[in-house]
Structure 1
Amino acid sequence: MTFPAIEKASKEEIKILQERLLQETLHYVNVNSEYYRALFLEQNIDVNAIKTISDLQQLPVTTKDDLQKNNDAFLCVPKNKIIDYCTTSGTLGDPVTFGLTDKDLDRLAYNEAISFDVAGVKEGDVVQLMTTIDRRFVAGLAYFLGLRKLGVGVIRVGAGIPQLQWDSILKYQPNYLITVPSFLLKLIEFAEQHNIDYNNSGIKGAICIGEPLRNQDFTPTILAKKITDKWNIKLFSTYASTEMSTAFTECEHSKGGHHHPELIITEILDDQNNPVKSGESGELTITTLGVEGMPLIRFKTGDIVQLHDEPCPCGRTTIRVGPVLGRKQQMIKYKGTTLYPPAMHDVLSHFDSVENHVIEISTNDLGTDEIVIKIASEKASDELLSEIKDYFRAKLRVTPKIEFAPIEELNKVVFPAISRKPIRFFDLR
């Protein structure tokens, strides 16, 4: 499968396509979405007047709160047209249900097929899927559908269990893995303990989700470097969400996730919902294109990112989404410094002796943000604590309060039974 011609088109050609699809989407939601029809009526918005990307600024944004409070009103089809029910992870509140139609599942498959193609996965390859496909989780299903459409063999192992993962790798010889990157360190550890030559296992690359692989300048994070220093494989970052039904995946040049302009419109907005200047960071705001069940108009994702539009050596002319700096709601002001959890997670990744950790944010008596980091380590000592604090000071200019905790205690909160991914950040403000 070759990538769509639109991804090599000029900026003007991309703009023309997106504006045509935008007008189709606005007319569709005006007729079929109870929520948007009422919103446009209430605010006296004529969708026929919205013709260009810049005209989007005349429309109000959609927030996660809007979705949670009016979930059913966003649905544009009768319930008997829904083929798959999935939910968001509920990181910032109650989960939101998304209904996908047969057409939406086809779109999801197309999105993932062209996204895997960006990362170099080709027809005839074999991929080991190391994420869950159940629990109303859209990503695992999307990966399977996309790989199937691409003509790729899939080994559905699911999450965890290093021994089972290696049994499958050695038996079926996949070329690529789809996984949370920190789990690759567990695979390396298991392989070293059991004399498995992981550098001759046939794995060429891993498509990684859930944890950052790149810093803002696209250099590898500490976590990424720890993996590739030992395992000679290529790591590809992919960024997506249930709400977007679209992925931004890195190519081999690791310069940001490539945009699929036929599937989604992107804006980067400031706190007043105005577009930021070129090259500045802001909140990624998306309008889905071609979604039948629950299309979204100007949905604020909560993720702070930067767009990159300089040409990519891979030949694609589309914009690229840079690494997520953090979630807007999780921004921390600490001793005059602005911090986001991913930066603190990356600092802690530097220490092999830190087996697990959680970050807790609360409001102190002065009304300012307070950070407490709890870490588990078999090598707990004053020397390790001092070393971690010094590293925080060197990397982030501040040192939060850090204390040791039993590994069993942290495992209970990081890996709760009802969660689909580790939870290491707790906002108690």
Structure 2
Amino acid sequence: MIPEIEKADQQTIKAFQEEKLRQLISYLQEKSPYYRRLFKSHKIVAEDIQTLEDLVKIAPTTKEELQKYNADFLCVSKTDIVDYVTTSGTLGDPVTVALTDADLERLAYNESISFACAGITKEDVLQLTTTMDRRFIAGLAYFLGARKLGAGIIRVGAGIPELQWDTILKFKPSYLIVVPSFLLKLVSYAEEHGIDYKKSGIKGAVCIGESLRNQDFSLNILGNKIKEKWDIDLFSTYASTEMSTAFTECSEMQGGHQHPELIIVEVLDDNNQAVPDGTEGELTITTLGVEAMPLLRFKTGDIVVAHNEPCACGRNTVRIGPLVGRKKQMVKYKGTTLYPPAMDNLLNDFTEVESHVIEIYHNDIGTDEIGIKIASNNQSDELQNEIRDHFRSKLRVAPKIEYCSTSEIQKLRSSMLGRKPVTVIDRRG
């Protein structure tokens, strides 16, 4: 189930997106208070934007603007809104995103073709281990996508390994939708309770929220740990509430595929210029087919590398590599640029580390400092030195390390909305 446009040549995809872009510009000119104001201030009329290259005429929209003018992005009457979701607020105040019935249908289509990208069919049953409540869009998207695809889905929710295994053994799902580190907890529970997890019937996992791969698409430390224990297929998927669109890996596992019928992708530098192919930049997106709150050149804050060469799976769409990091969480530490995911990955190398939180703060002279709070049964100087040496050799930095209780780490990791565990606390104001 590959949409024809995703198999088309680059010129056909470009022409298709340009037609969709022209429709979007006209829609925003008519319906969006925010973009009408933007167009007027920059003396832009709809006829000025005809091609993808013309997008550079439009100033990007930032997360701060979406937060500050949230209601001005709404293009429909409130009576047309059937669902409200909010962002997790990881990098600031949560943003409200409204969806119409058509937007929910688009969300279902997005996730159905994303599941199909990972090889999931209507013959499969998926076990959802993320929440569907608390104004969380992802759980809703997975449920709608599975229904659109015709696959079965079991809504178990987050945590509780006992309930997860009871469900797996009772209903025999073939795929899990899961935060990858939770797979290790499922394995640990199975081993402790005599469950033969390797014969459970699970074929693979659609993995969210944590990186599985290095930038060359090889498995990172976490990915290798999972595969060593449980040899199932691991598919990464990347998305955000604001763009209501997912980038999911195919069978080749070489990055998450763009759906050109749903989203336009740019990767920009700090001056809002396109970066060369294969270069890190900020993912900037334009949503297509969104009715309630479409976004034009929205800077996601996520640093990625885009890959444009055709994929062996038959798709010719842009692929987004593993998330390098979030721009706001970039750390300049003693001459080295760091992103927290790289630090998370190194800590996964130590089985003694049960959980951790990375804190970024300014020291007395105003430069960045990194502190890592660790929960471990082995609170020895030797382990501390090993971790510090590992960081020195891999990232050329030696962060401050402090042992804490598991309960203290859990308290720090729990966000106010309880939707996403927080692994990075930025105290730089």
- Shared fold (TM-score, shorter chain, > 0.5): yes
| Equivalent residues of 2:88, 2:417 under 8 A apart | no
State the match for 1:303 in structure 2: 302
Q: Which residue of 2 aligns with 1:347?
A: 346
1:19 partnered with 2:18? yes
1:336-375 counterparts in 2 under 5 A? 336-375=335-374
Structure 1 residue 366: deviation in Å?
Answer: 2.1
With over 3 angstroms needed to count, the CA separation of the structure-2 counterparts of 1:416 and 1:24, relative to structure 1, is closer
The C-alpha deviation readout for 1:23-82, integer Å capped at 9, x for no partner, is: 000100110001101111122111211000010000011011111111111000000100
State the percentage of identical aligned residues.
63
SS in 2 for 1:170: helix
Does the Cα contact within 8 Å between 2:356 and 2:409 map onto a contact in 1?
A: yes
In 2, the alpha carbon distance for the partners of 1:235 and 1:350 equals 19
Q: Where does residue 329 of structure 2 map in the other structure? A: 330
CA contact (8 A) 2:70 2:95 kept: yes
CA distance in 2, matches of 1:215, 1:221: 5
Aligned twin of 2:392: 393
User: How far apart in 2 are the matches of 1:117 and 1:237?
Assistant: 13
SS of corresponding position for 1:83 = strand
Counterpart residue number, 2:6: 7
The residue type paired with residue 423 of structure 1 is V
- The one-letter code of the counterpart of 2:314 is G
**Distance in structure 1 (CA, Å) of the matches to 2:51 and 2:253:** 31
> Where do 5+ consecutive residues of structure 1 fail to align?
none
Distance across 1 between alignment mates of 2:219 and 2:303: 19
Q: Which residue of 2 aligns with 1:69?
A: 68
Deviation at 1:221, TM superposition (A): 1.1
Instruction: Give the structure 1 partner of residue 255 of structure 2.
Output: 256
Q: Which amino acid aligns with 1:67?
A: L
Structure-to-structure mapping, 1:58-207, within 5 angstroms = 58-207=57-206
- Tell me by how many angstroms 1:312 deviates: 1.2
Amino acid at match of 1:192: E
Secondary structure of the residue aligned to 1:412 is helix
User: Using the alignment, how far apart are the partners of 2:265 and 2:312 within structure 1?
Assistant: 22
Alignment of 1:268-283 (within 5 A): 268-283=267-282
Deviation at 1:417, TM superposition (A): 5.3
Deviations 1:294-336 (A, max 9, x none): 0000000000001101221111111100111000111101121
Shift in Å, 1:418: 2.4
Taking the aligned partners of 2:183 and 2:203, their CA distance within structure 1 comes to 13
Between the aligned partners of 1:106 and 1:160, the Cα distance in structure 2 is: 29
- Aligned partners of 2:90, 2:215: CA distance in 1, in Å? 23
How far apart are the structure 2 equivalents of 1:311 and 1:416? Answer: 39
Q: What is the rounded CA distance, in whole Å, between the counterparts of 2:87 and 2:416 in structure 1?
A: 16
Classify the secondary structure of the residue corresponding to 1:39.
helix
- Secondary structure at 2:99 match in 1: strand
CA distance in 1, matches of 2:415, 2:318: 37
Q: Which residue of structure 2 aligns with residue 292 of structure 1? A: 291
Does residue 408 of structure 1 match 2:419?
Answer: no
RMSD (Å), alpha carbons: 0.8
Which 10-residue stretch deviates more, 172-181 or 362-371? Answer: 362-371
CA shift for structure 1 position 416: 4.0
- Alignment coverage as a number of residue pairs: 428
Q: CA deviation at 1:389?
A: 1.1
Cα distance in 2, alignment partners of residues 427 and 347 from structure 1: 19
Per-residue deviation at 1:415? 2.1
Map of 2:34 onto structure 1: 35
What's the CA shift string for 1:243-285, capped at 9, x where partnerless? 1110000012110000100000000100011111122110000
| Distance in 2 of aligned mates of 1:211 and 1:303 | 13
1:131-168 Cα shifts (integer Å, max 9, x gaps): 00000000000000000000000010000000000000
Q: Report the equivalent of 1:243.
A: 242
8 A contact 2:111–2:142 mirrored in 1? yes
What amino acid sits opposite 1:201 in the alignment? S
Measured after TM superposition, the shift of residue 419 of structure 1 is 2.3
Partner Cα distance (2:154, 2:187) in 1? 19
SS of residue matched to 2:13:
helix
Amino acid at match of 1:72: A
Give the secondary-structure state (helix, strand or coil) at the position aligned to 1:295: coil
Counterpart amino acid of residue 256 in structure 2: G
Contact 2:277 2:308 (C-alpha < 8 Å) held by counterparts: no
**TM-superposed deviation, 1:89:** 0.7
